[in-house]
Structure 1
Amino acid sequence: MIYQICTQTDPGLVRENNEDAVAFDAATRLCILADGMGGYNAGEVASGMAVAFIKSEMGRWLSHAGRHATAREVRRALEICVENANHSIFNAASSNPQYAGMGTTLVVGVFQENRLTLGHIGDSRCYRLRGQELQRITKDHSLLQEQLDAGLITPEQALTSLNRNLVTRALGVEDTVLVEVNEYRVEAGDIYLMCSDGLSDMVTDPGIAAILKGAGTLEHKAKQLIVEANEAGGRDNISVLLACAKEDAAKRGLLSRMLGK
């Protein structure tokens, strides 16, 4: 499987600074997105630390382990890396009064051939477009999601709830954190979208799906998602990461020749 990956980030129309951070490592197919929180510039410090730490440490491990590391090994390495990133951010917040209480959401994924190992904390999301169907494959760690799960509010009420941005898990806020990790089978043609709530709060799932299913390059689609979020109000920072899986044409051609097709 061949993966094309691109990112876009924008401060939006209301915020002066951008507390999101997003990055990927093409060599190891490691993708990371974080949405920071905290007073002054602490939010962007937390998200920047998370992305830089995980890209460096997890990227180094993947480079040594190779693409043939088992799913179990990748999962464990990811859990350890996130735990270490949490300690780093928590210690920085504890030792610097201006960073007190800072934290960040996190979505981190590792693509290996036809498998995605995906971890997340908070309400930044990952969606998958397969064929004509868009599916959210992460569940928010938020008060709003807990109210929905308990049947206390309806999806329609959730759209205008005052609890939209209250997360129940964040990286760096406490000395320990639980990252939710799941594995998914990747099929050729899949498009994966990681995003901060600056996109998902502004653009509906059908709106996101329409852009991902539309014409144009992956980079064009990423830019269009930012445009749509800003046209809807741009009330928060907006970050997106798109990853598209394609079958290796060279291997497909070799297999066809071997089968005489």
Structure 2
Amino acid sequence: MIYEICTQTDPGLTRDNNEDAVTFDAATNLCILADGMGGYNAGEIASGMATAFIKSELGRWLSQAGKNANAKEVRRAMEICVENANHSIFNAANSNPQYSGMGTTLVVGVFQGMRLMLGHIGDSRCYRLRGTQFQQISKDHSLLQEQIDAGLITPEQALTSVNKNLVTRALGVEDAVLLEVNEHRVELGDIYLMCSDGLSDMITDEAIAAILLGSKSLDQIAKQLVIAANNGGGRDNISVLLTQAKEASVKRGLLSRMLGK
């Protein structure tokens, strides 16, 4: 199993700056997406700090631990790196008045073999396309999701709610934060989509699925998702990170090829 990874980010149609940050480490199949919040471009600082810190620290640990690390060890490494990133952002926010109150959502995934360890904070999402089945595999940390869980509103009513962007958990806002981590089994052909709410608020899940099912390259899919979000209003920054599980190609040695084996 190998993983192809592709990213795309766009400021959208109504914002001058981009407070999203998205990155990955191909060597360790580490994927990270963050959507910042805060005034004076502080959200851009928070998301940039989160993605850079986690890529550096968790990427280094994964490189050293290799493929021998078990799920429990990977989970703990993710939690420690996110705790440290949270402290860095929180301390920066409290030492610089311009950054006061800044924070960021986070989605971080580690693909190893046939396993995905997925962590998230806030309302940036991770979806999975398996065959023709498309589903959200992360659960928003938001007031809206709490209202849905409590039966106060339906998912259909949530689509038009005024409380869409009120998150109940964010990185860097308090001195401690809880990363929700779940383990998922990966199957050959799976496509995973991490995205900021600039995508999921602008187009429906059905529209996202239709684009992913278009049998195009990941790069084409990423660009089409951004175009669709802008066509839907583009009221926020738009970021996507796509990961596809593919079969590893086995290179035969020279002697084998000569012998026709």
TM-score (norm 1): 0.95
Alignment-derived partner of residue 134 in structure 1: 134
Distance 1:251 1:155 in 2: 49
* Residue type of the alignment partner of 1:142: S
| Secondary structure of 2:243's aligned partner | strand
Alignment-derived partner of residue 199 in structure 2: 199
Displacement, 1:63?
0.6
Displacement, 1:215?
2.5
Alignment-derived partner of residue 64 in structure 1: 64
| Secondary structure of 2:68's aligned partner | coil
Structure 1 residue runs without a partner (length 5+): 253-261
Any runs of at least 4 consecutive aligned residues in structure 1 with deviations exceeding 2 A, and if so which? none
Distance 1:43 1:6 in 2: 23
Distance 1:251 1:136 in 2: 36
Q: Determine if the alignment matches structure 1 residue 109 to structure 2 residue 105.
A: no
Of 32-41 and 65-74, the range deviating more from structure 2: 65-74
Alignment of 1:1-261 (within 5 A): 1-250=1-250
Displacement, 1:251?
8.3
| Secondary structure of 1:178's aligned partner | coil
| Secondary structure of 1:66's aligned partner | helix
| Secondary structure of 2:250's aligned partner | helix
Distance 1:90 1:47 in 2: 12
Distance 1:247 1:141 in 2: 34
Distance 1:100 1:240 in 2: 27
Displacement, 1:249?
2.9
Displacement, 1:155?
1.5
Distance 2:216 2:169 in 1: 36
Displacement, 1:203?
1.0
TM-score (norm 2): 0.95
| Secondary structure of 1:135's aligned partner | strand
* Residue type of the alignment partner of 2:51: V
* Residue type of the alignment partner of 2:106: L
* Residue type of the alignment partner of 2:146: E
Structure 2 residue runs without a partner (length 5+): 253-261
Count residues with an aligned counterpart. Answer: 253
* Residue type of the alignment partner of 1:20: D
Identity %: 80
| Secondary structure of 2:219's aligned partner | helix
* Residue type of the alignment partner of 2:225: L
Displacement, 1:5?
0.1
Alignment-derived partner of residue 258 in structure 2: none
Contact 1:28 1:67 in 2 (8 A): no
Distance 2:117 2:156 in 1: 31
RMSD across aligned C-alpha pairs, in angstroms?
1.2
Distance 2:177 2:216 in 1: 39
Of 29-38 and 156-165, the range deviating more from structure 2: 156-165
* CA displacement, residues 5-56 of structure 1 (integer Å, 9 cap, x when unaligned): 0000000001110000000000000000000000011000000000000000
